Amino acid sequence: MRDVMKKVWTVVSLVTLFAAIYHAAPFIGLPDRLIIGMFILSPFLVVYMAYVILKYGKPSAYTFDERWYEDK
């Protein structure tokens, strides 16, 4: 189970890094074709990340009424 959670964090980290690079791309001088390619690829990465989180993520042990904010 621990390896699966590593996969979730790896996917979330890589997609977040991709998004940060995409947003910084015009300022760091990446070519327009690469930026457009990243734009086209980004929805697929987000959908894949959501799939991995929903399939392998660990649900909270608390309900919304018990703990309305849970970020550790």
Its pTM stands at 0.77
6 pLDDT exceeds 90?
no
> What is the C-alpha separation between 33 and 57, in angstroms, rounded?
35
Residue 72 within a domain: no
DSSP string, 3-58: HHHHHHHHHHHHHHHHHHHHHHHHHHT--HHHHHHHHHHHHHHHHHHHHHHHHHPP
Helix (H) or strand (E) holding 2: helix 2-28
Residue 63 within a domain: no
Residue 20 within a domain: yes
Domain region containing 52: 2-56
pLDDT band at 17 (very low <50, low <70, confident <90, very high): very high
Q: What local confidence, expressed as pLDDT, does residue 72 receive?
A: 57
The residue-averaged pLDDT of 18-27 equals 97
Higher-scoring residue by pLDDT: 64, 41 = 41
Return mean pLDDT, the chain. Answer: 88
The residue-averaged pLDDT of 15-44 equals 97
Per the structure, the count of domains in the chain is: 1
